[in-house]
């Protein structure tokens, strides 16, 4: 089966995932802008099993709809590599940039379009939602 590895910038925190992503999305919410330092987040969701190596520090943030997201980042270089949702440990959302692969498939969903910087244009055919779809 196809496997991919995402890594932090210094290389000590890694996650290996298998198969094609369940979904690939962009999030323009202000929390994602602040946690990434970029103007939107690009995330790919994968089903378990996945394999984590290295040390991670975590930070839990409660989303607008009450879900608790546990973000894992490298304590040395501070890259956010992946996060899980509490109670949904069978899947993981990985930061697309952490794969360092420009050939990674394009996103199909864009959420929190209400917070999108107006100069950010979306790929053709993407499904865009003003907030987070139910």
Q: Which residue has the tokens 């501070």?
A: 78
- Pick the stretch among 23-31, 84-92, 95-103, 116-124 that binds Zn ion (CB under 5 A): 23-31
> If you ran DSSP here, which 8-state letter would residue 106 be given?
P
Among 18, 36, 70, 76, binds Zn ion (CB under 5 A): 76
Give yes or no for residue 106 binding Zn ion (CB under 5 A).
Answer: no
CB–CB of 133/113 below 8 Å? Answer: no
Among 17, 24, 32, 56, binds Zn ion (CB under 5 A): 32
Which residues are CB-neighbours of 78 under 8 A, at least 6 positions away?
A: none
Q: Which residues bind Zn ion (CB under 5 A)?
A: 8, 10, 27, 29, 32, 74, 76-77
């Amino acid at each position: 089966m196809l496997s991919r590895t995402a890594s932090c910038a210094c290389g000590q925190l890694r996650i290996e995932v298998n198969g094609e992503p369940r979904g690939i999305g962009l999030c323009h919410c202000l929390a994602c802008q602040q946690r990434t330092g970029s103007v939107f987040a690009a995330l790919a969701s994968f089903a378990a099993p996945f394999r984590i190596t290295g040390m991670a520090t975590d930070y839990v943030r409660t989303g607008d709809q009450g879900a608790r997201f546990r973000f894992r980042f490298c304590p040395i270089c501070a890259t956010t590599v992946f996060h899980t949702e509490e109670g949904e440990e069978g899947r993981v959302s990985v930061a697309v940039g952490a794969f360092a692969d420009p050939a990674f498939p394009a996103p199909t969903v864009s959420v929190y379009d209400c917070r999108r910087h107006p100069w950010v244009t979306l790929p053709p055919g993407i499904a865009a939602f003003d907030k987070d779809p139910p």
